[in-house]
Structure 1
Amino acid sequence: MRYRSLTAALVVLVPGLVLGQQVAEAAPSRITATCSPGVPYKLVVSRPDAYVDFRLGRDCPRTVASASWDVTRPDGYSIGFGCGVGQTCRAAIYELPIGRAAKWEPTSGIGWDKNGRKVADLVPATSMVKTGAAIGLTGVRQGTKTTVYARATYYSTKSKAFTRHHGRVLFQKRDIGSNTWTDLGWAYPNTKTGAASYTIITNRSRDYRVYVPSSSTVWYAYSATKRV
């Protein structure tokens, strides 16, 4: 009888010990959410007081009401932006170096709610800053010959205005009713007129546009569509 009683006691105690281990292992750990800035990768400077408006990233908790990031220029000067109630943000990009990556680092590393409590760890982001380009496109069709003209410009931070673009541009065409663009060819602007041109032989109207590729300091751009 004593043997049987001891065995029963052990059977009762062992399950209790195993269950206790399982409960301890299942206890959740506190993990702070992360929050990234929704600042675009492509930042375009096309006026003297260029700003960009955006919102916090989708990973940010809705309770984040205050967060900020900074970028340090090569001269040591820091430029930053803050995001407030509504999770809206604005950055002054005209102060950033052109042709360089802007590495946004969290100011304090913490995203706060409206009561000043930490609700997220801020994470860094990177943007590329270049000036913008613009293209004027015109065209003339005479008989079976169509000629399109493009005048490309880019924003200069020195003159604070758009100036002539001396690089090559790509002419493209599209049949009316189609969604597919076809390359016609590259052309350089005329040194006197500043306009690049392309002529094709066709007996029907088509859509045309012009593409300017990116450079180390200027972002790519497309012209508006012109039907000729």
Structure 2
Amino acid sequence: MIVAIEGIDGAGKNTLTRALVTALETAGRRVGTLAFPRYAVAPLGPAVRAMLTGDQALAPVAASVRASALLFALDRANARPELAAAAASDDVVLVDRYVASNAAYGAARLPAAERPAFRDWVAALELGDLALPRPGLQVLLRVPVEVARARARSRAAADADRAIDRYEADDALQTRVAHEYEELARAAWAAPWRTVDPAETADAVGKIISDLL
């Protein structure tokens, strides 16, 4: 089963993913992991990173919500064989960001009236045209925007390879993305959702996942 871990930048997705690996493996489950975007995997990962860090050659792509969403989607599509292999060999595949991140971040950049159609377009593109496997569960890590912002900036200060990108630097965007994630979870967009707060332990979330297997 594919389990997508979602949330705004700095929410703690990577931390939760690592803890879930330990909790699920302790429970006897075989666990695989992937994370998107795959910045180090050519050709699309480096292009995504360049777009997010302001490369002028990619400015027209960055300016278009659908063009940038397509770039993120194609990065995932290139990982489809890896996803399929992991899903076939492991009980759980934890994915740090998946299709819902495209829906949330892209919709948050659009006027409110255009957001529902954009969410539908992302689902049709990634789960339909690009034939990405549908997740069995999507976990929304709900963290206050100001807490996530402080974490993202602290992470960037400690690691030169994790400089703040254009999305992370936009506090208003992060607030809208948080709202979009709540809307996606409320509508059970694309697959079932479970919203968790930081106080919920990885063991508790792992049990939720195990109960679905």
TM-score bracket relative to the smaller structure: under 0.3
Whichever structure has more strand as a proportion of its residues is 1
TM-score by length of 1: 0.23
Whichever structure has more helix as a proportion of its residues is 2
TM-score by length of 2: 0.24
> Which structure ranks higher in relative contact order (CA pairs < 8 Å, sequence separation ≥ 6)?
2
